[in-house]
Amino acid sequence: MQIRDIVNYFEEIAPASLQESYDNSGLLIGNYKTEVTGILITLDVTEDVIQEAVELGANLIVAHHPLIFSGLKRLNGNNYIEKTVIKAIKNDIAVYAAHTNLDNVIKSGVNTKICEKLGLTDVKILSPLKNRLNKIVVFVPEDYAEKVRSAIFDAGAGVIGNYDSCSFNTNGTGTFRAGEGTNPFVGEKDKLHKENEVRVETIIPDFLTNKVISAIKNSHPYEEAAYDIYNLQNKWEQAGAGMVGKLSKPVDEMEFLKKIKEIFGAGVIKYTQLRNVSVKKVAVCGGAGSFLLKDAISSGADVFITADFKYHQFFDAENRIIIADVGHFESEQFTKELFYELLIRKFSNFAIHFTKVNTNPIKYL
């Protein structure tokens, strides 16, 4: 099994194109062709984590936070990033990170895992992505419509929520004239031809566009397949930041805060004024989620669990929601379990380890 196989698997689940513009997810150190001897799972990559991988005989580290966020101009060991990169390279340890791309998916995503830990139901994306869906339209001879539909569905088109193979089909008449150098599937050269065709319309995420076009060309009987692509303004409810869901039964506010302190193993929870209402609906965002406060309020959530709120941002709750800041590391710690579950589901021919290094840089007194 090569590193390439691990990377491809993760990016089928959480495509790299879904990461935020500031992010740097992907294979940061190492060669895609290297055979995997073992995997070490961690939230952060430090020198101690590299050393742990060496001692375990694991040559691939799978992390949530990218070790390298911006370009490195020098490798002199002047900071922890440079020291860690040097140590990884010296010991032939590859480093792969799945960060905001894994945050932004609803299936097997970071926030989905948090919702699972909290026992939330009826979960959905808190802030769905926009302008990331395309409609693709292809014109196919009637007898070949099913073949082309199947091909584009297999390539990932036609998924809306929990439904797949979604399309709209309209019968009509296509016309064309084959010119010099052509070998028409139907009709004759230099003669106008009319053909009964089906207009097949379906939805695709933008990152699948090229794959679906290839599927059309490989399955379509015509030399020149006619297709159109339209960018849509629709929100993509299956991808985006944060999640929101419901508790099975209402819970007292303070009891709920105590419960999440226990679940997240938080040294402290910073929270806003209690509202004297039962907690029924909860919004979550692993990591720094203050940018989602307005979305959490709009969703009707009673509590917003996240991290890294600044002092003045707590005022923005305005008694419309309780902000519960559990800490950055604490809010994302379950990502390690998520990595393990995904890996063990697919690969079982090498050892998969959880790091024993506590990489949380924040300590509590």
According to DSSP, residue 285 is labeled: E
Across the chain, mean pLDDT equals: 96
Least confident span in 186-195, 259-268, 354-363: 186-195
> Residues 142, 222: one domain?
yes
Is 347 inside a domain boundary? Answer: yes
Is 286 inside a domain boundary? Answer: yes
Q: How many domains does the chain have?
A: 3
Is 105 inside a domain boundary? Answer: no
Q: Report the percent of the chain where pLDDT is more than 70.
A: 100
Amino acid symbol at 313: Q
> Residues 341, 321: one domain?
no
Is 11 inside a domain boundary? Answer: yes
CA distance 85 to 69: 12
Question: Residue 276's Cα: distance from chain center in Å?
Answer: 36
Is 215 inside a domain boundary? Answer: yes
Is 166 inside a domain boundary? Answer: yes
Task: Tell me if 278 sits within 8 A of 108, measured CB to CB.
Answer: no
Residue-wise pLDDT tens digits, 213-251: 999 999 999 999 999 999 999 999 999 999 999 999 999
Question: Quick one: pLDDT band at residue 180, thresholds 50, 70, 90?
Answer: confident
Is 167 inside a domain boundary? Answer: yes
* H or E element that contains 260: helix 253-264
Q: What is the pLDDT of residue 158?
A: 97
Give mean pLDDT, residues 146-169. Answer: 96
CATH number of the domain bearing residue 291: 3.40.1390.30
- First-residue to last-residue Cα distance in the chain: 45
Q: What is the pLDDT of residue 235?
A: 94
> Residues 217, 265: one domain?
no
Question: If DSSP codes are grouped into helix, strand and coil, which group holds residue 5?
Answer: helix
> Residues 114, 184: one domain?
no
Query: What's the domain range around 120?
Result: 110-128+239-326
Question: Quick one: pLDDT band at residue 348, thresholds 50, 70, 90?
Answer: confident
> Residues 138, 181: one domain?
yes
Q: What is the pLDDT of residue 349?
A: 82
